[in-house]
Amino acid sequence: MREIGYQIVAISADRPSMLQESLDKHDLGFQLLSDSSMTAAVEFGLGWQVPKSMVQKYTTYGIDLDAASGQSHHLLPVPAVFVVGTDGVVRFQYVNPDHRVRLDADVLLAAAKAQMARMPQSESSE
């Protein structure tokens, strides 16, 4: 994606200090932002309320939503991928509430290349 001119930005529900731990452990090669308040996710229509029974079940797996986000809202984002032009227009989107099903990298790359080809020359060279 970077090789064809895209900037990659990931948004996580984890609080900034948790993200820093990930950045320290892994050379991610992209910008990682925190939306621990879930404001952006809700505005994008991607935030969902985790039922109390599921919050309790998560704790049995060692997942503490409150500790991860630093909040007690019990919201999580639906996994999503967006290709956005420099004009702010969403040119491709993939949203799947089943977190186990992720967008294939080859599909994303093909969609990004197709959108790059459709952009006016001045936008694709920025």
Walk me through the domains of the chain, giving residue ranges and CATH numbers. 2-119 (3.40.30.10)
pLDDT, one tens digit per residue, over 71-124 is 999 999 999 999 998 888 899 999 999 989 999 999 999 999 998 777 665 455
Lowest mean pLDDT among 21-35, 40-54, 67-81, 82-96: 21-35
Burial 10-35 (b: 16+ CB within 10 A, else e): ebbbbbeebbeeeeeeeeeeeebebb
Q: How far apart are CA 86 and CA 47, in angstroms?
A: 25
List Cα–Cα distances, 52 to 15, 58, 75, 114, in angstroms. 21, 10, 11, 42
Average pLDDT over residues 37-51: 96
Average pLDDT over residues 7-31: 87
pLDDT, one tens digit per residue, over 96-106 is 999 899 999 99
C-alpha dihedral over 22, 45, 43, 63, to 10 degrees? Answer: -30
pLDDT of 21 > 90? The answer is no
pTM to 2 decimal places: 0.80
Strands 80-84 and 31-34: unpaired
What distance lies between CA 64 and its chain's CA centroid?
Answer: 19
- Which is more confidently placed, 28 or 108? 108
